[in-house]
Amino acid sequence: MTPEEVAQNMNKVAFSIERAFGDIMKRAAFNALATLRNRVQTSGVNAEGSKFPPYSTRPMLTNCASMTQAACAAKTGNEDKRKKLKWVTLQRGGRSVRLFELEGGYAEYRDLHGRQTSFVDFTFSGKMWANISLVSSDEEHQKGVARITAPNEDEYKKLEGNTNRKGTILDLNPAEVQDIADIISREFEGIWKVNKFA
């Protein structure tokens, strides 16, 4: 290869990388989200390798309006069950709301709804995870920045509340960071090969 051909190919590589960099960052970000989501949902482990603090077993108030019919029936399905519960009436929005206490707290609430409680997976309806996405702009991707979060206010508040209670959810561990770096490197290697630098 002549020096001129090397220079031409180097220019092609630089141009191709510049043109593709935003898309490469997007693909890396989607891979990062899938990786961390899988880790959290299947093992309840944070980026430091520790389990998230467990679901609360502190007694909580609830009512049938905030439960499925089957979950409510499990607690209030007959007179004997209702008599065993602690009941309170609160004023909300100018009306009386009758609530009962779940002695086992949120962990019991999850269990009544058929959700696992052995570790924290931040999954009940799945809505929070479904709404976490890539929110950064194409301009940011071109600069090597990719931001993943909840794009609407309600889901952002849910994510923020969970983070405040349990710790950072959307972090990658060092091995995951390396995997993402490897994905980016392979993308760059592909561009080099296409331009005869393999």
pLDDT in tens, 156-197: 999 999 999 999 999 999 999 999 999 999 988 888 777 765
Tens-digit pLDDT profile for residues 88-122 = 999 988 899 999 999 999 999 999 999 999 999 99
Domain tally for the chain? 2
Same domain, 138 and 176: yes
Asked if residue 14 is part of any domain, the answer here is no
Quick one: what percent of the chain has pLDDT higher than 70? 96
Whole domain around residue 89: which residue ranges?
Answer: 55-118
- Predicted confidence at residue 145, as pLDDT, reads 93
Question: Of the given ranges (55-59, 150-154, 157-161), which has the lowest mean pLDDT?
Answer: 150-154
Q: How many CB atoms lie within 10 A of CB 137?
A: 12
Asked if residue 164 is part of any domain, the answer here is yes
Asked if residue 11 is part of any domain, the answer here is no
Asked if residue 67 is part of any domain, the answer here is yes
Same domain, 128 and 174: yes
- Predicted confidence at residue 16, as pLDDT, reads 72
Asked if residue 60 is part of any domain, the answer here is yes
Asked if residue 26 is part of any domain, the answer here is yes
Cα 40 to Cα 42: distance, rounded to the nearest angstrom: 6
- Predicted confidence at residue 196, as pLDDT, reads 66
Residues whose CB falls within 8 Å of the CB of residue 120, separated by 6 or more in sequence, listed in order:
44, 51, 52, 53, 54, 55, 166
What are the φ and ψ backbone dihedral angles of 50, each rounded to 5 degrees?
Answer: -105, 155
Inter-residue contact 109 to 60 (CB < 8 Å)? yes
Strand order in the sheet with 60-62: 60-62, 95-102, 87-92
Asked if residue 72 is part of any domain, the answer here is yes
Same domain, 124 and 195: yes
Quick check: 29 pLDDT over 90?
yes
- Predicted confidence at residue 198, as pLDDT, reads 53
Which carries the bigger pLDDT value, residue 193 or residue 149? 149
Residue 9: half-sphere exposure toward Cβ, Cα within 13 Å: 14
Same domain, 198 and 124: yes
